[in-house]
Each structure stands twice: as C-alpha cells, then as structure tokens.
C-alpha cells in the first residue's frame, strides 16, 4: 500500500501541501487520530459545562456580531446555531470546483481536530465521512470579506451537514438530505456553539491559496526548464549562470534557479556550436532568469510558510481551552496573513509569466532571433505562432491587473463591528487565476522553443532538454503547416501544470531544485 492509498491522518497540526493535494485532487481518504479525537471531546465537555452553568459566553448563548449583547435562553440554543448557518449561507456566484470544495472541507475538519472549536466528535465524523464518500456541498465562490473568517462559504458547508442546501454526489447535484441518504449518511442536529465552530475561520482562502501555491511551485521549476530550452534555441550563453556570479549575491531562489539552468544546459551540442561566436551578453529575459525566477521562488517560500502555519491553526472565536476550562474571544479568524501571502503569490507568479512572454517574443520575432518569423517555414502563406504570442501577451497583461493587491482594501461590515477586513478570498482567487494564466504562457513558450529547435537540426540541445522536447512532441508534433493551436496549447499546459516537463528533464539530469 502506498502512502496515498492509506488514509491521511488528521491531527490538526501536520497537514501540508502534499496532503492537501492528495485529498483534494486525488481523493485520498482521511482519518482522525486518537489524540485529535480526545482533544475534540475534551473541548466539547467545556462547552457543555458552560451551557449547564448558565454563564454567558459569546457564540455559545449570545447572538453574533452586532447581536453579541443579546443573551439567548437555554431552550433556544439549538435554534440559535441552526439560524446562524442558515442566515450566513448567502454566497453568490459560481460554485467552487471539486478540488477547492474538498480543500474547504479538509481544512475545516483539520481546524476542528485541533480541539479549540468545541464541536461534538460526531459532527466532525460526519464532515470526514462526507469527504471520504465524495459528498461535496455546493459552495458559491463569492461572498467572503475574510473578516470573521470565510463565513458565507463555510456556512454553505455547514448547512449541508444538517441536510439543507445542495450537494454534488456521484456526478449529480442533489438536495443535501438526499445526497447524504444516497451516501448512507444522516444529517446532524447542531448543538450549542457547533454552528459557529463550523463557520469561523480562514479555510476557503487557505484552501484556494494552498492549491494555487502547490501548482505555482511546479510552474517555477518548469520555468527554469522551459527557459533553458528557449535560451539554447536562441543560441544564448550559459556564462551568466556561472556559480561564482550567484555566490556573490546568495539569494536562495536565485542560487537554485542558476544551478538548475547550468545542469539543464550542460554538454549541449547546440551551445558548443557557437561558443566562439563573439556574442558577449544576452537580453535580460535570458540572462537574468535566475534573478527573476529566483525572486519568485523566494516569495513562494514565504507564502508556503504562511499557508503551512494557517492550515494547522486554530481560527475560531471564541476558542475553547480545555486545560483551563475557558472560552476566550479573540481574532484568529482575521485573514490578513493569508491575504497578504496570496497577494504576494499573485505578484511572484505574474513575474514568471511576464519574463516568459518576453522570451516568447524573442523566439517569434526574426529581428531578435535570426529564426524564421513566427517560427513557420512558409511565412506569409502561413502565420505560424503569431497569435500564440498575442495570447501570451494578453495573459501577461491580464496578470498585471490581477496582481494588484486585494489585501490593501477594506470595507466595514456587520454594523461596523467588523471595521477592518482582509479580502483574503479575493486575493486567493486572483492568485489562482494568475497561476492558471501562467500555466498557459509557459505552455506557449514550450511549444515555441521546441519549434525553434527544429530550425537548428540536426544539431541537438542537451540530453535533459531533448527529453523535454520528446515529451512535448508526444502531444504536439512539429509545425510544418498551420493548424488549430488551442487544443495543442491546452495539452502542453496540462504537462506544465502537472510538472511533467520537469519530470522529463529530471529523469536525465537528476532532481531539479
């Protein structure tokens, strides 16, 4: 049994990006650890004791937000929680995709597993069972300002647990009650604090941002491979990647990218063919790949640290501390750390796309490349990759708008009780779109660089880069006449997004950083 075949142990403190992708994209099952179950039960006892004592505690026996001063009688506490999730399930817009929905479910379950939330173990068990059996709530993507957490999206998740709203099960959208029944599950009746325990937190912005980050790392490595392919096709020099240059400015990402480029270009016959040509320097989009790709890598490192902490953080309010028997109100639900990280993710990945688009221009522009215009052997009669470069330019320009930070915005909500908000979901959704755009830009560059090499045959590039070309050629043949480009770009984009291009190169030259 491989690790991905066994259930992922959920303990509230060790979830990482690999586990997130395993569960969301590959439907790995999850199981609560015994330690986590004990922590959940201990926190629940504190809530039950608080209710029994009659002590007034926010979210347990009071209203919410601006209604926090309204005390709710003991006989209406179940109604309070059900009303909460019903009223907050007010999201709009397109539904989240399956991966994002499963990420939302997984991350909320991981928070509950920490034992700060005060839900009952059986409520968490139902959430995990839904995840394992593929009962996915229909969650609109819009409606969170990232203040008291992602309230509206998480409320759509919560209402599914009580059998309301809609779910997707086995490819069909059903009423949640019917979906649960079809999966052999029964809805729960929320008890004191449980509705609040399900909707307070940053799990949508973290799920969307985390999934975008996981692919962004594949794009960063792919950019080194594809950029190396372009440089060799343009008869560039690898001198700028000399280790001594980068040791003098030892940013970790720059050092890693330069190392990758050296290994990818080593022993290239095409490089050797023009070693004494007298050309001294390449354009910045070639020469400065380590500096630009590396800066993006360092930014991704910061984003990864932030997302990693947030995936395993308690984000409730109030928080239950079983050791002391206290419920304390705070602000861990505020999404500012994730919002800023997601904005940085957009900026970093947009720069990978921006420099890639400039390399595409150098490949298709005969004034810059000494190659046939738009890489077609019959220019005029055929247009070649003319519009492919236009598409890359359109995406790179769109990214400039998307990279404007959402986290610098704020708008008061809840009668000004929530007077500063993070806009974290907006930041994360923008980052996901930037990642999707750059996947396409890099695919276009990979196609163009592979085509450019055709004009140098029989000369060959390095062994790892020839392996990359062979992988591209399995889905996109060399161009000898105009044909539909869109499906070919899509096929190569799938290779890029899945990290296949990096894997092809690494199979020859070893693991790339």
Rounded CA gap, 33 and 237, in Å?
54
All CATH 1.20.200.10 domain ranges of the chain, comma separated, are 209-313+344-407+422-509
What per-residue confidence (pLDDT) applies to 63? Answer: 81
Rounded CA gap, 409 and 423, in Å?
7
C-alpha separations of 4 from 18, 31, 46, 214 in Å: 10, 13, 36, 17
Query: Is 0.85 topped by the overall pTM?
Result: yes
List of long-range contacts for 489-493, beta carbons under 8 Å, 24+ apart: 489/388, 489/391, 489/440, 489/443, 489/444, 489/447, 490/443, 492/443, 492/444, 492/446, 492/447, 493/439, 493/440, 493/442, 493/443
CB 345 within 8 A of CB 209: yes
371: its two tokens: 């190659």
pLDDT string in tens for the chain (513-residue length): 455 679 999 999 999 999 999 999 999 999 999 999 999 999 999 999 999 988 888 888 888 777 878 888 888 889 999 999 999 999 999 999 999 999 999 999 999 999 999 999 999 999 999 999 999 999 999 999 999 889 999 999 999 999 999 999 999 999 999 999 999 999 999 999 999 999 999 999 999 999 999 999 999 999 999 999 999 999 999 999 999 999 999 999 999 999 999 999 999 999 988 887 777 789 999 999 999 999 999 999 999 999 999 999 999 999 999 999 999 999 999 999 999 999 999 999 999 999 999 999 999 999 999 899 999 998 999 999 999 999 999 999 999 999 999 999 999 998 888 899 999 999 999 999 999 999 999 999 999 999 999 999 999 999 999 999 999 999 999 999 999 999 999 999 999 999 999 999 999 999 999
All CATH 1.10.275.10 domain ranges of the chain, comma separated, are 8-201
What per-residue confidence (pLDDT) applies to 3? Answer: 56
452: its two tokens: 């450019």
Residues annotated as catalytic are: 58
What per-residue confidence (pLDDT) applies to 1? Answer: 46
Q: What is the pLDDT of residues 53-87, one digit of tens each?
A: 888 888 888 887 778 788 888 888 899 999 999 99
How is residue 165 annotated by DSSP?
Answer: S
What per-residue confidence (pLDDT) applies to 275? Answer: 84
Does domain 8-201 fall under CATH 1.20.58.390? My reply is: no
Kindly write down the DSSP assignment for every residue of 251-320, as one continuous string: -HHHHHHHHHHHHHHTT-HHHHTTTTS------HHHHTHHHHHHHHHHHHHHHHHHHHHHHT----SSEE
CATH code: domain 209-313+344-407+422-509 is 1.20.200.10
């Amino acid at each position: 049994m491989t690790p991905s075949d066994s259930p992922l142990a959920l303990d509230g403190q060790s979830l990482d990006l690999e586990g997130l992708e395993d569960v969301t994209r590959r439907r790995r099952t999850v199981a609560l650890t015994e330690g986590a179950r004990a922590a959940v039960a201990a926190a629940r006892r504190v809530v039950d004791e608080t209710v029994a004592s009659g002590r007034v505690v926010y979210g347990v026996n009071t209203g919410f937000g601006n209604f926090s001063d309204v005390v709710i009688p003991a006989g209406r506490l179940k109604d309070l929680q059900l009303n909460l999730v019903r009223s907050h399930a007010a999201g709009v817009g397109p539904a989240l995709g399956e991966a994002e929905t499963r990420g939302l479910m997984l991350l909320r379950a991981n928070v509950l597993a920490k034992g700060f939330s005060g839900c009952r173990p059986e409520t968490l068990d139902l959430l995990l069972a839904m995840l394992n059996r593929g009962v996915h709530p229909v969650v609109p993507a819009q409606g969170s300002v990232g203040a008291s957490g992602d309230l509206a999206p998480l409320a759509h998740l919560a209402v599914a647990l009580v059998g309301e709203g809609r779910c997707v099960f086995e490819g069909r959208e059903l009423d949640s009650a019917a979906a649960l029944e079809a999966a052999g599950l029964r809805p729960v009746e929320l008890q004191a604090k449980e509705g609040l325990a399900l909707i307070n937190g940053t799990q949508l912005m973290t799920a969307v941002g985390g999934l975008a980050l996981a692919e962004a790392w594949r794009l960063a490595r792919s950019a080194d491979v594809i950029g190396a392919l372009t440089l060799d096709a343009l008869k560039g020099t690898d001198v700028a990647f000399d280790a001594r240059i980068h040791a003098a400015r030892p940013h970790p990402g720059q050092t890693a990218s330069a190392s990758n480029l050296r290994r990818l270009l080593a022993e290239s016959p095409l490089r050797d063919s023009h070693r004494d040509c007298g050309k001294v320097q390449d354009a910045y989009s070639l020469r400065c790949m380590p500096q630009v790709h590396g800066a993006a890598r360092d930014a991704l490192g910061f984003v990864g640290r932030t997302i990693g902490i947030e995936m395993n953080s308690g984000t409730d309010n109030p928080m239950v501390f079983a050791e002391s028997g206290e419920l304390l109100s705070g602000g861990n639900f505020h999404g500012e750390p994730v919002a800023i990280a997601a904005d940085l993710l957009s900026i970093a990945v947009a720069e990978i796309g921006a420099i890639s688009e400039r390399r595409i221009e150098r490949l298709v522009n005969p004034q810059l490349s000494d190659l046939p215009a738009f890489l077609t052997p019959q220019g005029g009669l055929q247009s070649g990759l003319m519009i492919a470069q236009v598409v890359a330019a359109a995406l790179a320009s769109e990214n400039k708008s998307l990279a404007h930070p959402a986290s610098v915005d704020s708008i008061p909500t809840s009668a000004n009780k929530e007077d500063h908000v993070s806009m974290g979901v907006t930041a994360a959704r923008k980052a996901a779109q930037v990642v999707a755009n750059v996947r396409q830009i890099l695919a276009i560059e990979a196609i163009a660089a592979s085509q450019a090499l055709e004009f140098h045959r029989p000369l060959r590039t390095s062994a790892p880069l020839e392996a990359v070309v062979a992988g591209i050629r399995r889905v996109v043949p060399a161009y000898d006449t105009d044909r539909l480009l869109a499906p070919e770009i899509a096929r190569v984009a799938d290779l890029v997004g899945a990290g296949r291009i990096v894997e092809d190169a690494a199979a020859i030259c070893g693991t790339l950083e």
